Amino acid sequence: WFDSKIILGKNGVPVAESFRLEQSTIPDTIQAGQVRVRTLYLSVDPYMRCRMNEDTGSDYLLPWQLSEVADGGGVGVVEESKHENLAKGDFVISFVWPWQTMAILDGSLLQKIFPQLVNGHLSYFLGAAGITGLTALLGIREKGHVTVGANQTMVVSGAAGACGSLAGQIFCLTVHLQIGCLEGCSRVVGIAGTDEKCSILVQEMGFAAAINYKKGNVAEQLRELCPSGVDVYFDNVGGDISDTVISQMNQNSHIILCGQISQYNKDVPYPPPLSPDILKIQKERNITRERFLVLNYMDKQEASVLQLCQWIQEGKLKVRTFTVAYGI
């Protein structure tokens, strides 16, 4: 199993030496209420960088402890159960899943999941049909202020990432649900880091256009692709890219503050403060920029997950995953 050995300060990029891989054993027997599980998928996410600091910057995130097993979102199968609601062969998920190939867990911390809801792709419960999908869907619904018939333009940074790629699609699907037509009612422009990613966004995921921020002038490309300005900005990255987008946002527009990935390796508060010039633009144009936390909307979780699963089953929500297999 993986044993996190955090050697970073608040400033620094994680490297392989930040972690230690060890072999160990687990007990042969389990206690009442416990289950033995075999790990199938672990989700490695940007927020985990914050857990490598003693102060994560968030009251809902606990720091990983030195020489303790790292944990996060995981999916597995029950191999033995002494919990009344779980049986051998059940597929389960938890967001405090230890980075181990096998584990003994408290059954009350596990949620049973059903492969047929995601066409058999169990890993989707850690992405498009999980917290990632919920963040995209609820972020747009709760903070995007999508307006019927307003012909809004949304820009997504980190658009080829797990959340960004869903957010662009969900924006169009949300408008479609409201007025029953996609033609001429919305425009989504993504920002990503390679030509291949940009091509996937446009060719597979329905983005109107995509900008490779490593090529050319992003500000000029945005002006060309968003001639009427930006109404909604789904912000995954922060930093210079976000400053560029905000400078082209319209009066009374909205920032969905999902993440600030470009800042996670730096010793800055969350959300990072805007520069004086950008802050002036935000205030003058009455641009909303409120911290968004999907955990505050868990009363809408069940219905939202079912909506995401329905779109996946119908092929309306295109999902791409990057999976690395480890044989231990």
Rounded distance between C-alpha atoms, residue 241 and residue 85, angstroms: 47
| Structure tokens that stand for 16 in this block | 């392989």
Domain 2-113 and domain 131-314, same fold? Reply is no
Residue-by-residue pLDDT tens, the chain, 328 positions: 334 444 455 677 888 888 888 888 999 999 999 999 999 999 988 888 878 888 777 777 888 888 889 999 999 999 999 999 999 999 999 999 999 999 999 999 999 999 999 999 999 999 999 999 999 999 999 998 887 777 899 999 999 999 999 999 998 787 655 544 333 347 899 999 999 999 999 999 989 999 999 998 999 999 999 999 999 999 999 999 999 999 999 999 999 998 887 777 677 767 788 999 999 999 999 999 988 888 889 899 999 999 999 999 999 999 988 888 765 5
Domain boundary assignment for the chain: 2-113, 131-314
Domain 131-314 sits in CATH 3.40.50.720: yes
Q: Are 42 and 73 in contact (CB under 8 A)?
A: yes
H or E, element range at 144: none
Confidence at residue 9, expressed as pLDDT on a 0 to 100 scale: 58
Domain 2-113 sits in CATH 3.90.180.10: yes
DSSP 13-41: ---GGGEEE------SS--TTEEEEEEEE
Confidence at residue 271, expressed as pLDDT on a 0 to 100 scale: 78
CA 30 remoteness from chain centre: 34
| 3-state secondary structure at position 80 | strand
| CA proximity to 213, closest of 230, 238, 236, 190 | 190
Residue with tokens 């000029």: 220
DSSP 236-300: SS-HHHHHHHHTTEEEEEEEEE---GGGTTSS--SSPPPPHHHHHHHHHTT-EEEE--GGGGGGG
Confidence at residue 312, expressed as pLDDT on a 0 to 100 scale: 94
Residue with tokens 């075999």: 38
pTM: 0.85
Count of other CB atoms within 10 angstroms of residue 83: 19
Amino acid at 255: I
Rounded distance between C-alpha atoms, residue 289 and residue 302, angstroms: 27
Rounded distance between C-alpha atoms, residue 176 and residue 173, angstroms: 5
Cα angle at 218 between 215 and 223, to 5 degrees?
Answer: 135
Count of other CB atoms within 10 angstroms of residue 32: 8
**Which ranges constitute the DSSP H helices of 116-161?**
131-143
Confidence at residue 180, expressed as pLDDT on a 0 to 100 scale: 41
